[in-house]
Structures are given as C-alpha cells and as structure tokens.
Structure 1
Amino acid sequence: MINKLRLLIKLNILTPNGLYTLIQSIRANGINLMALLGFSARLYPQRIAVQDDSGTLTYAQLYQQSRNIASALCHHHRLKPGHKVALICRNHALLLKSLFACSYAGADIYLLNTEINLRQFSAFIDKHQFDLIIHDANIAPLLAEAGFSGTAIPAENSDSVSIQSYAHTSGLLAKQIKHGPGKIIVLTSGSTGDFKAAARKPSLFAFLNPLYALLTKLELFHYRSIYIATPVYHGFGLATLSIATLMGATVYLTRKFDADNASHLIAEHQIEVITLVPLMLSRMLYRSADKLLCLRCIISGGAQLQPRLVADTRTQLGDKLFNLYGTSEAGICTIATPRDLAHSASTIGIPIEGLTIQLLDNQSGLPVYQHHVVGRLAIKCPWAAQNNGDLIETGDLGFHDADGYYYLSGRADSMIVSGGENVYPVELEDAITQHPIISECVVIGIPNAEFGQRLKAFIVTQQPDSLTAEQLKLWLSERIARYQMPEEIVFLHEIPLTPIGKPDLKYLSQQITSEKQPNGQE
C-alpha cells in the first residue's frame, strides 16, 4: 500500500495541491470520467489534451467544451442520470467530448463498435432501449434501417444540431446538471461471434491495482504523449484514455489506422507511447522502423503477439515492447515486460496484483495445476464487471510454466480436433511466421471429411510470388507435427482487419475456397 500511495503522490493526486484539486473536481463534476478531466484541466490547463485529424485542444478547452455539451444535452434533450446513451464513433476529439459530457450527466454509456451490423444493432436497440445515440455521419443509414425512433445526434454536422455545435454553446448552467454514478459499458470485439457487454462504474480506488501495475511496470508516469491507435470504444483504448487524462498527457487520435500515416505521425510529433494490436506493430515495423525510434513504450494487446515480431522489435527498436492480456470483463489481467519477453517471447506475463488466474480442464472443468498443460483460462478480481466472487471464464486457452509465466493457446472456440488430436491454430501461426519472407499469417479451422477438421492458413509474404504452398509445406514438415500441417494455404496481399486491428476471422472463415489469389497460389 505504501508504494501505491507513493504512486498517487507522483501523479499529483495526494500532494496538498493535487488532493485539493481532486476534491474540487469531484464536487463540481461528481465521481466520473469528467472528474479526471476536471482534475487535469485545473492542474494543467494549457497542456495539449488531444490532437486528432482536425487539430488540437488544451485541457482547459476540452473540459469547457465537454461541459457545454453536457449542458446542451441535459437542457435540450432532458439527459439525466440512468439514461442510456450509445456512442458510435471512430477515434476523434468529438468522441472524447461526448464521452466526458455523458459521464458528467450520469448517463450509462455504451461504446459500440462502428462496424456493428444491422442484425447486431437492431438487437442492441431492442434490448437496451437507448435514450440517446451519438454517432458519426456514416452511421445514420444504419439508424434508419434499424428503425431507431429515439433521439440521435451526429457528432459532426455544421448545418444542424450536432455535438460539434453544442461544444460551442454557452449560457446554459452546467451547475444545474444532476450528477449520477453512471456506468461505462464496453463490448467484446465480436471477431468470432456476437458482441457481449461488460459494465463498470468509475472508481479510482477499485482500479488502484491495475492502475498501479500499468504505471509502474510500464513507467507511464514518465511520458507526456500517447498515441491510441486502437479504438477508444475498445476496453484497451478506454483504459489508456483514462490513464492519459489522469496524467495530463497528450492523446493522439486518428479516425482510421494506416501504417504509413501512423509512422509519420509518430516521427513528426516524437510520440513516446503507443497502444496497438500486433498487426499494427508488424505493419509499421516492417515498413518504417526508422520512424518508430522515438517510441519509448510500445503497448501491445488485444491479440496474440508472435515470437518473431517480439524478436524483430527488440532488434530494430530496443527493449520497448510490453505485452498486455486483458478481457472486457476484468480489464488488464497480465503484463509481460521486455525482461519477461526476453525470458520467453510468447508469454503474456504474470497476473497483476489482486488478480487470480485459474486453469480449468477442457473436459471436466476441474482445476489444472500441472505446468505446460493447456486449460481454459478463468480469472477472478475485485474490479471485474460482474464481481460476485466467482471465476470468470475468458474464452481463452492457455498454460503456465514453472516460473509462473502464462501463455495463450488461442481462443477455446478456435481449437480444432483433427483425427483425435487437439490442434491449436496459434501454434501453426507461430511456426509459419518464423519463415524469413512471411510477414503475416492467420490460421483457422475448416471441415474435413476424413479427419473432422483441418487447418487453413492465410499468408502474406514480403515479396509477392516468392513462395508456393508446396514450398511452405516442405519447410514446415521439419518444424511441426503432421496433424498441424495446413490442408489449405492461401496467399493474400494483406490480412483483412477489424476496426480494432485484429484479423477479421469472420470474413476469413467465409473464404471456404482456396482459389489462387492475386499474388500467390495454393
């Protein structure tokens, strides 16, 4: 506890001025995200809070405009504590303003994936009966098609009512707003199935353990610039935003991730920290490694980090890579530091303080204690979204070694049984990406009449037409078991990604044929 108190002092929270400022901010804003923004706006008013594709805002400007929006929403649309608000926006400052404003008003905020389809969205609005939806312009047709008849406000529209216009509305009394302990609901990524919601209420002390782990292991309190390349609507992005706001750091946002543009942004502004998923790192590293040298902390999460990428990052950029594992329900669960990754490039690290991981047998559900035996990952922690003291199954498979390090074996629903053998696609992915000319790989299971299921690999090479399926299988034959050999190999120009940056497994699963692709062959 002493170390955690020292951390709060470093963050200016428990200094005399900081404590006074925090109390004043909570009195003015309630216990919510706006209290964090108000805290930093008072301590660091002229610091740049956010830079997006449209420009920059100081902490004082972001705070005032967020309060203006909250006042307008409460005055014109009767927003109040307990109301349900859906935010469907890409990464930009208007999303942040909406998030802070609705939190200030005590609303329950649902952060929806901007690629949500009609069936999923229709089910969500039927289930949750949203009082208000704030959305990007391209979402308007989806609202109409789903028949949403409630209040919908575009984030940006110069010709009518919008969040953008409300940001500059003055004269309404923010002090008349009734605060409430609203929840923030994030969704699972939905990369292989439907989205699921996980709600939690803002609480500095409930999240002190994960906050302490992030700030100390990653030493984030040393840095003043963070590029959130992952969507803010994802739990990983939301956590980073909250920490950056508390530290008074500058957050960089882009509506869409493009490897070349992202590398240029990092180099131009000498950004120190980036949060991303492995494929984002891979594409930047292999195209523009020299532009990433200014980075001091690279935080990868949300998907499997392959050993070759770990090694290449260390070789080209130094010991700057951290591997985080978390869930929508519990947030951050484990952290692998550069030292941990030097111990084993495929580890997800060790559980953070206060969190318990239990491996469960895939058949019996009983605890697995043996080392290197794969089981279902289940977690328990005080800050989980559904904290009833029970283990929460993550949907992932994994194992641990004698030193206490944990490893992922992929999603439970991605494991296949081929000829009676349990086969994990991630193991084949790790093997394939060791090939010197392969830059990206995704492996999925497909039906097979003889063995029940086999593996299918989607490959991106650094040099088009430089490798055939037969050559790759011959290379693999000395490195993997026979039951791991892919039945089909498809060469692609690029692995399709979800908006979060993960491989789009839904799309790839629909590609049931292995016809010759533009830059390769089966």
Structure 2
Amino acid sequence: MARLTGGRGGHVATAAHTGYVLVKQGVIRPMRPDKIVRIALAWRRWGITPPLAYAIGAIRHPDRPAIIDERGALSFAEVAQRTTRLAHALRERLQPGDRVGVLCRNHHGPVETIVAGGKLGTDVVLLNTGLTGPQLATVLTEQQVGVLVLDSEFSAHLDEVPEGVQVVLAWTEGSTERPTLEHLITTSTNRGLPRPTRHSRMVVLTSGTTGTPKGARRPDPPSLSPAATIFARMPLQAGERTLVCAPIFHTWGLAAFQLGSVLGSTLVLQRKFDPEQALSAVARYRCTSLFAVPIMLRRILDLPTETRGKYHVGALRIVASSGSALPADLATRFQRAFGPMLYNFYGSTEVSWVSIATPEDLLTAPDTAGRPPRGTALRILDEDGTPVPRGRPGRIFAGNDMLFEGYTNGQSRERLDGMMATGDLGRFDKSGRLYVVGREDDMIVSGGENVYPKETEDAIGKMSGVTEVAVIGVDDADFGQRLAAYVVLEPDTELSADQLRESLRDELPKYALPRDVVFLAALPRNATGKVVPRELPR
C-alpha cells in the first residue's frame, strides 16, 4: 500500500521524481531560450490548465496536429488561435457567473470549447450525450449554464432548454440558422485576452446509473506531478498519437485529453464508436495508445478474426481501459489477441485514480485492479474505519492530489484521514494487488450471508458462449434478497438457466448462485458503456 508523501523531504522527493519521469517520457527536453521565456510567460498567464498545454504546443511544435477528427486535422498553432477567437465570442454571450455547457460527441468542438473556457476563467460543464430532454433542462438550470454548445444531432432537446440559455451548434450537418462554433471562431478577433481572474473548473456529471446525474467539480492539478504519477505506471510518450474512444464528457475520456495535453500528443477523435473504424484509425494514423471503456474492447474482440486482421496495428503499445469494471475473461482474451499492452485503470470522477493494473498484473491476475501508483494512499477499512486483514473485503478509501472538490449541490463523499471513500468494496491479495468485489450498495444479504454480485458476475462471464453478464440483487420474500443474472449469449449458443447454475456449482457457494437467470439480446447501457441496473427487467 502506497502512502501520501508529506513534509519538505517528501515534496523534494516528489518534485525530483516528477522531473525524472517527465524527462524520461519526453515532456521536458532542451529548448531555445526564447521558447523557454515564452512558455514561462504562458504559465504565468494560464497556470496548469488546458490553455497552457496548447500554448506550449504552439510554441514548441506549432505545425504538429493537435486534433484529428472526421473533418481533418488542426495543428497546435491553429487550436491556440482558434480558442482565443472562440473565447472572445463566448465572453460576449456570457453573464457574470454563467457556465458553458457542452453536449457533444468526440471531435474538435468540445476540446476547443474547454480550452476557450479556460482562457476566460469560465467553468465548463460536460454533459452526458445520453441525457433525456427533461434531465438536460434540470442540469442546465442547476449548473447555471448560460451558453450551450451542442451537436446538431441533439437539436430535438432544444425545446427543453431553459429560456435565456444561448445555443451554439458545434458539429452540424447541412445549413442552419443558429450560430455555429465555426462561425464564432472565424468572425471573432485574435487579439490577446486579459489574464482570467480565476481558473476555470470542469464540471463532470456522475454516470447516473442509479439516479439523476450530479455535477462533480474537478480540481486544478497542483503541478505536473499527477500526470507523472500516471506516466510512471503507464508509459505514454510525448508527441505520440492517441485514439480516444471513451467520450470526452466522461472522466476517462477527459483524462485522455488531459494526459495528451501534457504530452503534446495528437488526439485522434471519432464521434461514434465503431469497433472496425477504431482499428482502422489506429492503423491509418499509427496510434500508439488507445483509451476505451471495457465494452468497447469487447466489441473489438467480437469482430471476426479476418476483419481484425485487415488492419495493421503494430504501432499500438498501450490500451488503457477504465470507466467500469474490466472482466477477467475480457482482460485475458484481449491480451491473447493483441499482446501484453492492456492497462486497467481503477478510479472514479470523485477520487480520480486509485490503482493501475499493468499488462503483467493482468497476465498473472486478470481480475485485479492493480496497485496504487506512487503518492497514492489506499486503505481497506471496516465500518469503524479500522484496516481489515489482508484477504478480507472492506470499504475502499483512497487519497491523492486530485480528489474532487465536491458535488455542485454542496454535498461530498465521506473522508477519513485525507482519504475519500470510493463507494466500492475491495480486498488485497498477498502480493498487495487490489481486487474490487463490488459497490458498497451492491452487496446483498441473502439468508444471513453477505453476497457480492461481482463474484457471480465474473464466474458467469468466464463461461463459454457468454458475451455479457450483469448480476444484481433483488428482493426475496424468504431470504431477504437473492441474485438475478442477466446474460447475453453468443449467436447460436444454447444454454438454459439450470445448465448455467449447474456449471457454477463447483465454483461458487450455494448462496452465490443466481436464483433468477434472464437471457437478453443486449444489456442496457448508458452513453459511457455502464450497465444501467434500473433498466433491467424485474
């Protein structure tokens, strides 16, 4: 278990480690003195924020593509100039205290809006593309959104937009009478902006799988130490190309954007995930890393072998997965197909990172969430806040430099000794690896036994012919609660509920066998790929 460093000696050691990692990964390298001065001035103006990253890119490698999407490429110099123009245009439309809302898929629009918001010191609210019209209206009001930037495909929601919210279209198909992001950029000035009086905050919505999404304020990084912490475990290199499949409005896609900004990487973006198109982009642009959620990796594996073989992905070194639990069978299958390049990142909107499983970890223990990186405190505690013995499950608490600042409704997560509850239950093995056994509110008591649905879910997921599974607790008149399994089978697979339970009898105790087994064509998922339990049939 790693500990947070403290005191002057700890700060010196952290700074030295940060510098070492950033030099090793190519972030820090020799430059002409005039460029160093210009970067120092940019840092003084923007601080450690997205505008600084693109200002540095425009100084160091102005012609390098910063973003590649379906409409072409934008260089770092172009993004720096365009976001200044966009910032001027947004400032004319915003009232004091207003935020900018972004309802977009992955393309240059949300990236430029985030950077422009940073140049103004205006908070940017990243909206989930899966929101219903009424949910969108509620969130816009709660988050005090004054300008909404959205793709035209979501125009059906415009009738729900509260009066007074100005709408700007980002990705459009055909002509439109509404103002567009491109029009604002091309018709605004590129003159210098005043230094913002405050740093912009990005507000990320929680997944909302069990209720209405909440806004979570993401903090400014205190330095480049958080990025170095990740790079030390997941060796991303400066200047490479990254395919970001995870949506940018989600914490994991946002992390890919932020890490890529530090590295001066080219972000390759596609508006909608398609497994074959993802492989095509990796091959075409020689991407060295790919950020995805587990269901995306499963869909890539579900492609016929001959389809996957059409695309040369030899440049790919790192596939980073997060956003939901990585099933053990998926980790094993993926590395068999693509080699030892899979990293499992466990964290959340609230606590940022907790642990990272390397390819070597996943080869040895495919169901592990890995180990905490340097500078991260991780504890497994009982209900009284006392550490539990190794091997026993308990509540996961984590501490690092990027714990969220709280929900925008004024609430927060439970904290203890500088650490925050993740809301999950987990255990350590003898080697110090973390295993997440489920959500605290997922655990059920069936006939007096504590039952963790994830254990049953993992066992079913390893069965031949099963492509997806979700296990939840449901009410039971006799036992209090019981497990219900929702299973998606491969085409032409025949499996009955009794056969499924019989296959599990040697692996699971009787109380962990699912009493209910429901076969579905697909699991209900939200826009970030998480299963939505409330939409499962009961």
Please confirm whether the aligned pair reaches a TM-score higher than 0.5, indicating the same fold.
yes
Instruction: Report the residue type matching 1:368 in the other structure.
Output: P
Which residue, out of 327, 332, 356, partners 2:377?
A: 356
Bigger relative contact order (CA 8 A; separation at least 6): 2
Q: Which residue of 2 aligns with 1:101?
A: 116
Kept in 2, the 8 Å contact 1:298–1:322? The answer is: yes
Question: Are 1:240 and 2:261 matched, yes or no?
Answer: no
- Equivalent position of 1:516 in the other structure: none
Spell out the pairing of 1:257-406 with structure 2 (5 A cutoff). Answer: 257-287=273-303, 288-290=307-309, 291=311, 293-294=313-314, 295-361=316-382, 364-386=383-405, 390-406=418-434
Distance in 1 (alpha carbons) for counterparts of 2:430 and 2:143: 46
Shift of 1:24: 3.2
State which of 433, 448, 452 in structure 2 corresponds to 1:420: 448
Distance 1:505 1:227, change over 3 A: farther
- Unpaired runs of 5+ residues, structure 1, are 513-522
- Structure 2 contact 369–433 (Cα < 8 Å) conserved: yes
Q: For residues 289-328 of structure 1, what are the alpha-carbon distances to aligned partners after superposition, in whole Å with 9 as ceiling and x for unaligned?
A: 5347432111111111122112212222111011101121
1:83 equivalenced with 2:102 (yes/no): no
Residue of structure 1 in register with 2:22 after alignment:
8
Corresponding residue of 1:444: 472
1:500 to 513, 524, 528: 528
SS in 2 for 1:6: helix
What percent identity do the matched residue pairs reach?
A: 30
Alignment-mate amino acid for residue 259 of structure 1:
P
Q: In the alignment, which residue of structure 2 is the partner of 1:165?
A: 183
Rounded to whole Å, the distance in 1 between the matches of 2:185 and 2:348 is 33
SS in 1 for 2:320: strand
TM-score by length of 1: 0.90
User: How large is the RMSD of aligned CA atoms in angstroms?
Assistant: 2.4
Q: TM-score, normalised by structure 2?
A: 0.87
Confirm or deny: 8 A CA contact 1:40 1:246 kept in the other structure.
no
Aligned 8 A contact 1:84 1:129 in 2: yes
Once residues 498 and 277 of structure 1 are traced to their aligned partners in structure 2, the CA distance between those partners, rounded to angstroms, is 12
Q: Partners of 1:46 and 1:495 in 2: how far apart? A: 44
Q: Secondary structure at the match of 1:342?
A: helix
SS of corresponding position for 1:240: helix
Shift of 1:225: 1.1
| 1:39 match | 56
Displacement, 1:97?
Answer: 1.0
Task: Give distance in 2, aligned partners of 1:236 and 1:474.
Answer: 38
The 5 A counterparts of 1:195-210 are 195-203=213-221, 205=223, 208=225, 210=226
Q: Shift in Å at residue 202 of structure 1? A: 2.7
Deviations 1:4-31 (A, max 9, x none): 2123335444645464342132355555
Q: Give the CA deviation at 1:351.
A: 1.4
Q: Deviations over 1:159-188 (max 9, x none)?
A: 331212112224353435745312112122
> Are the structure 2 counterparts of residues 378 and 465 from structure 1 closer, same or farther at C-alpha, using a change threshold of 3 Å?
same
Q: CA separation of 1:203/1:21 partners in 2, compared to 1, >3 Å: closer, same or farther?
A: farther
Deviation of 1:497 after TM superposition, in Å, equals 2.3
The amino acid that maps onto 1:349 is G
**Which deviates more from structure 2 when the two are superposed, residues 134-143 or residues 343-352?**
134-143
Spell out, residue by residue over 1:120-171, the C-alpha distance to the aligned partner (whole angstroms, 9 max, x if none): 4343333332222222224444342253432222224553312121122243
* SS of residue paired to 2:67: strand
Q: How many residues align?
A: 504
Tell me the distance in 1 between the aligned counterparts of 2:238 and 2:86: 32
**Structure 1 contact 459–489 (Cα < 8 Å) conserved:** yes
Provide closer, same or farther for how the CA distance between residues 83 and 31 of structure 1 changes in structure 2, counting only shifts above 3 A: farther
